[in-house]
Every structure is written in structure tokens, then in C-alpha cells.
Structure 1
Amino acid sequence: MDRDFFAMGLLAFPQVRVVTLTEVGTHAVLDARVGGLVDSEQDLAAPLAAGTDGMLVIMDRGFVGVNVWQEFTKAGAHALIRAKTNNARTPVEHLPDGTYLAKISQWAGKRQVRTVTVRVIEYQVDSGETIRLLTDLLDPEQAPADELAALYHERWEAELPNRQIETFQRGPQQVLRSAQCACGPRKDSWAHRVTAGMDQPSFSEDGR
């Protein structure tokens, strides 16, 4: 089972997919899920919602979906996710600050099974690229668009722990030590996360 899970025999080496919940300010990994290539990013992300009450959770385009959205908002978190080009394109209400409300939907075949209302923030960066963000913070006075845009662009800080592992901690060896063992990739991935986490203490409790 693990051999299929990690695509052993299908690829030259087994591979894992890792999704982490990382503090932007401290780079501390608060939680993580390790899966195989059979797992989607959204499937791995949903269980991370349990510990996010009161947080603003910032995600990239791979996590747009009603299931992930509702898991985090029901847990008490607020969401800020970059939209794909086909997400929430039709305004249902224009807001005074230039943002608008729209819907994202979950489909079962041709049947729409769930929808949620999102606020869409659009802006251009210096390169000319248009960025579209989705959030459950629907009140422009409570959550100004420029502040949310600035927060989104701090998301790259969450990638630094991955860089620490891939570039420095693991060294020049590109293959995990346990690559030939069906159960090893998961163990090695967690070992690297734990080791990196020892150098990234969380100050979330002290800062509240």
C-alpha cells in the first residue's frame, strides 16, 4: 500500500507531498501533514484548520475550494487566498472601496452542491500582473484591501523553512536517505521538519 501511496515503482524515487501551517513572522511550523502523490494539497490542508481559531490564514492558488474554505472559517479562522483566473469572476455586489462580493462553488458533476460568499480584491503589481485575492472578511472598514494585499505579499516568508530544509539542512544530496524503503519517505520528511523546527521557536502564545 505504501509503495503505491508514494508512487514507488512509478517514479525513479518515492515522493511525498507536504502541507504546513507556518507563522509568517517567526517562520515556525505550527502543524503539518505529510502525504503521498495520491493526496491533493486541499485534502492535506483541511485537517490543519483545527488549530487556527483567531488566525488569518494566507494560502496560495492551490488551496482555493469550498471545502478548505469552510474548514478554516468554521474553525474560527479568517481566510486570504489568491484566486485562480477562473475563480469568483462574477460580482454579486460592488463595495465602496472597489472590491466586490462573489461566489465560489463546489460541484458534483453538473450539480452545484455548496457555495460560499467571498470578497474579491484586485490590484496590479509593478510587473503589470493582476493579483486577485479572496477573503471571508467582507467589511472593507474592518479589513481594508490595501492592508490585506500587504499581508498576502508577506506570505513568501512561510517558504523559508522549506528553503532551510531543501538547501541547507539536507545538503547537496537531493534524494532522501530512505528513498528505497516504502515507509521511509514519511519518516524522513517528519525528521527534517522536527529538526528545522528546533531552530524556529513559536512566539504565537507570548504575542497574544
Structure 2
Amino acid sequence: MRSPRDADGFDGEASNASMMPGADSPYQATTEPVRTRRLMGGARCDIGYLRSTFGILKVLEVALSLIAFICIETVMLCLPCGGVYFFEFVSCSAFVVTGVLLLAFSLNLHAKVPHINWTLTDLVNTAATMFFFLLASIVLVSLNHKSGAEITAVVFGFLATGVYSINAVLVLRRWRSREVPPGPGQSREYTRARTTSRGEVEAQPELQ
């Protein structure tokens, strides 16, 4: 789902644990060295992922969701309270779910469950959270917009919506690029390259 332009967001995401055969994860194999830091319990913190585009977006999503949740929790009086409760639920859920995914990706815990399509999981989470954050922010600004805490929560809600939307677009491109099979031209080039390589190997004399 990733185009060449998006490749820079995943420079440091690969790790030895994430290259398990058959593992479907948001990491790609690379020949570049990956900077990791060993933590307690044998876990490794992937510094490269945290510095990549997707890692930075995940950190921003967790931070904005937490700030929005704290702002809405400071509302002492609301009438009606439906918009406040809905925004509180969305911001709290976004903080918990996205935080779990951030830990799984940054500590390479996703590699222990290779049968899960982690790219699709990340796509579903970012797209759904973007939609519900946008809906909750619109409802809150329509029903409750009198106090400073409510206005601040709405601002961070729309900011979180923007970050989630950017992340969703990038993950969608990456997922689609992995699902689309190579075209006829690419298949012919691959076959021609394999044939040429095989011919060169056969032409070499055997070692005595």
C-alpha cells in the first residue's frame, strides 16, 4: 500500500523479529542497520520506527487523544451531556487502542503474532478513529460550546482527526501496494532477469 514516496516513513521499521517468514506486519525488510535498544524482559525498542513518519504520527495521535480526553474530563457542568459523554468515550478509546498499537510496533511485539494482518489492523483503527473523532467533535461543537474546556476539547478533537486522516491515507496506500499483483510488464522483466541470471550461472565452468 506504499508508493516510493512513502518509503521514507518506514526506513527504520524493520527488525530481526519482524522478518519472520509469513509475518504480515507494517514493517519491510531492509539491508540498512536498524537501531534498537534492549529493554527489560528481552523486549527491544525500535528507535528507527519511533523516528519514522508512521511512528511520529502514532505518537501524535496518542498525545492528542490524551489531551482531548483530559480537556473533556475537566467539564464540570453540561446541558445536554450527550455530546460530552460521546466525545469522552471516543477520545479515551482512541488513546487506549492507538497506544496499544504504538507499543506493539515500537517494541516489535507484533512479530510474536505473525498470522494477524497488522497493516490492515492499523488501517481499520486509523480510519475508524478518524471518523468517530470527526463525528464526536461536530456533535460536541453543536451541543456544548459554552465553556473553555469544551472549546479546547473540540480544537484537539479536530487536530486528532487531521492526524488520523493523514495516517489513514498513508496506511491505505501501503496496504493497496501490497495487495495489487505485479503487472504483465513487471512479470516479464522478472522472468527475463531470472533467465539471464540462470544462463550466466550455467555458463560458468565448474570448480575443479
With structure 2 as the length reference, what TM-score do the two structures score? 0.27
Identify, as 1 or 2, the structure richer in strand: 1
With structure 1 as the length reference, what TM-score do the two structures score? 0.27
Greater relative contact order (Cα < 8 A, sep 6+): 2
Higher CA-based Rg: 2
